[in-house]
Structure formats: C-alpha cells, structure tokens
Chains A and B, each alone.
Chain A
Amino acid sequence: AQTVTQSQPEMSVQEAETVTLSCTYDTSESDYYLFWYKQPPSRQMILVIRQEAYKQQNATENRFSVNFQKAAKSFSLKISDSQLGDAAMYFCAYRSDFQGGSEKLVFGKGTKLTVNP
C-alpha cells in the first residue's frame, strides 16, 4: 500500500519570504500523480498543484512550485513571496495512475503553515 509522509507538523514563514514544505511517499508503482492541497480555516480543500510522475519537469503555478525527485520519492512544495492568505493546512497526496488502479487519494498528515506579518 502507498503511504505519504509529511514530517513537518508545523511551519512558519515571514510574509514575502519563501518556505518549503516536505513530503515523501512510498510506492512500488511507476505511474502516479502527486498533489498538494491547501485547507484554509474554512476547511474547503483547494488544489494547489499537481505533478504527473512521468513528467521530469517540475510543476509550477504562479508562486507555487514543486521539487519532484522520483528516485528519492520526494515531493516538496515551495511557496515564494508568502502572503497572509497562504496560511493554512497543506496536505500532500498520492494517486495511482495505472489502468484499473484506484482513483482514491492517499493523504499525508498535513503541515500547518503560519505566515507572520
């Protein structure tokens, strides 16, 4: 079974600074997707960024980028120019991509990000 590990229960960053959230995963599959979700105090899950395992290029979405290291099974999220609105729980998630595989997401335990003004 796949597992996702987020080793940082809490992180803090100064506004306008850069922060990196860590995520490692364990799988025997070669085809899969990785995601970062944000859950603000409203508790609405918001997709931040997605990475296909077959793509070597790291995904980016505006201020958010990932460092995907497939061999190391590492998938970190970098938030640049942090804003107060970035304060939230961040969850790393895994999804299988092979034919007939499960569509369900496997979540890490989350990292609470605080942004200090």
Chain B
Amino acid sequence: GAVVSQHPSWVICKSGTSVKIECRSLDFQATTMFWYRQFPKQSLMLMATSNEGSKATYEQGVEKDKFLINHASLTLSTLTVTSAHPEDSSFYICSAHRDGVEQYFGPGTRLTVT
C-alpha cells in the first residue's frame, strides 16, 4: 500500500510553453501533498505544500504564478510550470501524506526545457 505515482516521468518542452505534472496517491487518500525540486547531486528543496480544496502554501522564494499547484481531490495534485524556461529544467518530486507520520514519495518527473 501507499503508492504514489507521477505522470509524466520525463517531459521535454519548448521555452515559453506550459507543462503540467500530475501526482496521484493510488491506494489512499492524501490529506496533504508536497512538491519538491531537486537539482543534480543536490538535496530536495520543498516548493509548496498542497491541501485538498485549499490554496497551496508556497515556500519563500518560489514564484506562485510560475508554479501553479492545484489539489483537486484527495488523490490528485498537479503542478503546472507556466512559461517554462531552461532554468526550470529540473527533477520534480511529489509526496503524499495521509493520517500518520510518513510521506510517500512519487518516482519523480524530469523536466527538460529547450
């Protein structure tokens, strides 16, 4: 149990376009979902915390208008990178939290902006 999926696993987009990444909890309802960004050989950087039915809480320095997060249901959160630029290229990881302690991580999405 406690499986989290992400789609797509790898996406390439052109500069200026938008791309949407989905995070789903497959076998449980997630009260909270988190979005992280990870640069090569670096740690995970929390971007935002997402609660179902409410606005996401963004970490300091994260552009809300650029990284749109929607938590439409207890099993789905989406991250949309708007007007993507090459510097947005990174590995994006989501995690889901249900009642309890652990966060369950998705497999990540590699975004390449050309």
Contacts and interface: CB of A to CB of B under 8 A. Distances in A.
B107 A43 contact: yes
Given A91-B44, A109-B43, A110-B43, A104 B105 contact: no
Which of B44, B91, B102 is packed against the most chain A CB atoms within 10 Å? B44
Size category, B interface: 10 to 19
Interface string A92-117: 00010000001111011110100000
Interface residues of A, number: 19
Contacts of A107: 43-44
A104 B107 contact: no
Interface of B: 32, 34, 38, 41-44, 46, 49, 91, 93, 95, 97, 101-103, 105, 107-108
27 contacts: A42-B107, A43-B38, A43-B91, A43-B93, A44-B105, A44-B107, A45-B44, A45-B93, A45-B95, A45-B105, A46-B105, A47-B102, A50-B101, A91-B43, A102-B49, A103-B32, A103-B103, A105-B34, A105-B44, A105-B46, A105-B103, A107-B43, A107-B44, A109-B42, A109-B43, A110-B42, A112-B41
